[in-house]
């Protein structure tokens, strides 16, 4: 199963969710419809050669969630976070994220995740994630920054996204992301990814996305059409 979880709400602001859930850090969602773009913002997913996936994992655990509209806080305990270990044991993972609505439409969020591997000193993965989003109405602007510490090596990335809903049935997204891949790909290896997505709502239940992405990465560029 990709995901299956339950939620118990103590009140309208606080709940516990438990089961197999999507990891919590990152601006982009994972479920369609409603995505600003179908492709991932970042071209690089794997960490070193140990099958660790840095983003968009579904993991087993429990998460406490609080959000009163002005301030939000989430704290999770999981069997895994980055695809390193999928059993409940000493190698547990934690994540914490805090968000604040600065003014109506302007939201900021900070998050941290840690995956511990007890059998080796350097088998730890840490992620720091921060994003700022502005949504005054039809316009959405977002800026995101990540730093990963993967087995002692550092990887960082940033993303800028702009989406505008021109009319009820048509919107468009432009997205740019940059990744510093030196530790995993080689010296002076960076990736720059540009995406343009046209989003059509044909009916209340039928959506059509037309999307093009270009990734500049050594030794070859990559073009994708969806």
pLDDT in tens, 99-123: 999 999 999 999 999 987 665 566 6
pLDDT at 49: 46
Reduced to 3 states (helix: H, G, I; strand: E, B; else coil), residue 196 is: strand
Q: pLDDT averaged over the chain? A: 87
Q: Which residues pair with 98 in a beta bridge?
A: 73, 110
**Which tokens is 59 given?**
């993991």
Maximum mean pLDDT: which of 29-33, 38-42, 148-152, 197-201 = 197-201
Write down the residue that tokens 């579904």 correspond to.
58
pLDDT at 106: 96
Nearest to 164 by CA among 129, 194, 140, 198: 140
Torsion over CA: 224, 39, 171, 31 (sign)? positive
Reduced to 3 states (helix: H, G, I; strand: E, B; else coil), residue 171 is: strand
Interval 150-201: pLDDT, tens: 877 888 999 999 999 999 999 999 999 999 877 665 556 788 999 999 999 9
pLDDT at 47: 56
Q: Which residues pair with 132 in a beta bridge?
A: 108, 143
109 and 97 Cβ atoms separated by less than 8 Å: yes
**What mean pLDDT comes out for the span 19-30?**
89
CA–CA separation, 186 vs 50, rounded Å? 17
pLDDT at 193: 93
Reduced to 3 states (helix: H, G, I; strand: E, B; else coil), residue 201 is: strand
CA–CA separation, 100 vs 16, rounded Å? 20
**What mean pLDDT comes out for the span 48-77?**
85
40 and 195 Cβ atoms separated by less than 8 Å: no
pLDDT at 211: 95
Which one has a higher pLDDT value, 6 or 216? 6
pLDDT > 50? residue 32: yes
pLDDT at 2: 84
pLDDT at 161: 97
**What mean pLDDT comes out for the span 201-206?**
91
Task: Report the half-sphere exposure of 141 (CA within 13 A, side-chain side).
Answer: 4
Torsion over CA: 34, 104, 178, 153 (sign)? negative
Which one has a higher pLDDT value, 86 or 125? 125
Q: What angle do CA 152, 87, 150 make, to 5 degrees?
A: 10
156 and 135 Cβ atoms separated by less than 8 Å: no
pLDDT at 116: 78
**Which tokens is 199 given?**
């989003």
pLDDT at 40: 87
């Amino acid at each position: 199963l990709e995901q299956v979880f339950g939620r118990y709400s103590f009140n309208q602001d606080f709940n516990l969710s438990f089961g197999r859930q999507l990891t919590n850090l990152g601006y982009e969602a994972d479920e369609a419809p409603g995505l600003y773009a179908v492709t991932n913002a970042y071209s690089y997913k794997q960490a070193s050669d140990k099958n660790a996936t840095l983003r968009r994992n579904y993991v087993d655990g429990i998460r406490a969630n609080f959000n009163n509209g002005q301030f939000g806080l989430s704290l999770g305990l999981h069997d895994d976070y980055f695809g390193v270990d999928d059993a409940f044991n000493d190698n547990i993972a934690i994540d914490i994220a805090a968000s604040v609505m600065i003014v109506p439409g302007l939201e900021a969020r900070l998050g941290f995740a840690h995956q511990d591997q007890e059998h080796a000193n350097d088998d730890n993965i840490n992620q720091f994630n921060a994003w700022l989003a502005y949504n005054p109405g039809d316009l959405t602007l977002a800026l995101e920054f990540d730093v990963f510490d993967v087995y002692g090596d550092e990887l960082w990335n940033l993303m800028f996204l702009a989406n505008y809903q021109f009319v009820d049935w048509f919107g468009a997204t432009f997205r740019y992301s940059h990744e510093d891949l030196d530790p995993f790909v080689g010296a002076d290896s960076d990736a720059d990814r540009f995406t343009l997505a046209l989003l059509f709502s044909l009916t209340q239940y039928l959506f059509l996305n037309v999307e093009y992405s270009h990734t500049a990465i050594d030794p070859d560029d990559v073009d994708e059409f969806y």
